[in-house]
Amino acid sequence: MQLIIENLNKLYPNGVHALNQVSLTIHTGMYGLLGPNGAGKSSLMRTLATLQDVDGGTAFLGNLDMINQKEEVRKVLGYLPQEFGVYPRTSALELLDYMALIKGFDKASERKEIVHSLLQKVNLYDHRKKAVASYSGGMRQRFGIAQCLIGNPKLVIVDEPTAGLDPGERNRFYNILSEIGEQVIVILSTHIVQDVHELCNEMAVMNNGQILFAGSTQDALSEIKGKVWSKSIEKKDLQAFQQNYQVISNKLVSGKPLLHAFSKDPLGDGFELAEENLEDVFFAKINNLI
């Protein structure tokens, strides 16, 4: 199964060009869509989830036209948005049963089997009778994955799923997504580099509505291998270094800025060659350094 996106365009009335000739080819497995807030990721996700129209371009899931066959797309789609509402007093068991009914599972016995299986899959079976509104953030996200999987979708879209989760919940979420990605296309839209590093073999970097990179995570790292240099400096010197070098990023380590700078040639001035990582790729791409 392939998802082939070609030249998607979306211009909002306020003049924001949210999607600008976006083209991607995505295969079965985990695919990371990485970009800062406002990059156009959510606009792309909403388009693929049939929640908004575009001004031009095509998207095909196999032979299914995702732009013009919205009802058919919804039958094979699982979608977890950044935020989703729930009925305040409704249990996970009741809510999933209702969602399964909406998806076309008319037989109560069949729905019961599906719902119980999904709750066990996301480790919520022991909490099935509790109101979803009372769940922790991580539990709610796991419930969101359960509702995504009703009907064995061919495409699962998750939009910023781990923001605000503690490390334990994030790891549980990673494990669930990885298992799902063995059988279907899972698009993980996030601004958290670690999510893509942990889960995805293929990725894209997006900013200002455009795709800046698409390929394997290994190819992304290869682009900057041997070109990232690091140095710890004093805070008072930060502005000068930013003016004199192509600084990819800086973060405080033990109270002092640790710089990562991009250069094809060795840098003097105390810089040392750094081990490349996806965070360097991300910042270098969105800052047009590579």
For range 88-115, the mean pLDDT:
89
**Strand pairing of 256-262 and 228-232?**
antiparallel
> Does residue 33 surpass a pLDDT of 70?
yes
> Does residue 207 surpass a pLDDT of 80?
yes
For range 130-138, the mean pLDDT:
87
Q: Best-predicted range by mean pLDDT among 21-30, 102-111, 159-168?
A: 21-30
Angle (CA) 277-280-283 rounded to 5° is 150
Which pLDDT does position 47 carry in this prediction? 94
Show me where the domains of the chain are located: 1-76+153-215, 84-148, 225-286
CA separation for the pair 146, 156 (Å, rounded)? 11
State the pLDDT confidence band at 254, using cuts at 50, 70 and 90: confident
> Does residue 86 surpass a pLDDT of 70?
no
Q: Best-predicted range by mean pLDDT among 15-29, 242-256, 275-289?
A: 15-29
State the pLDDT confidence band at 121, using cuts at 50, 70 and 90: confident
Which pLDDT does position 24 carry in this prediction? 97
State the pLDDT confidence band at 138, using cuts at 50, 70 and 90: confident
Which pLDDT does position 264 carry in this prediction? 92
Pick 38 or 227 by higher pLDDT.
227
Task: Give the rounded distance of the alpha carbon of 59 from its chain centre.
Answer: 18
For range 27-40, the mean pLDDT:
91
Assigned CATH topology for domain 1-76+153-215: Rossmann fold (3.40.50)
State the pLDDT confidence band at 104, using cuts at 50, 70 and 90: confident
The string of pLDDT tens digits covering residues 210-221 is 999 999 999 999
Select from 191, 193, 78, 187 the least CA-distant residue to 143. Answer: 78
> Does residue 227 surpass a pLDDT of 90?
yes
In the sheet where 29-34 sits, what is the strand order?
A: 77-80, 155-159, 185-190, 29-34, 202-207, 210-216
Which pLDDT does position 167 carry in this prediction? 83
On the CB side of 127, CA atoms within 13 Å amount to 15
Residue % of the chain over a pLDDT of 70: 99
The string of pLDDT tens digits covering residues 73-85 is 988 999 888 776 6
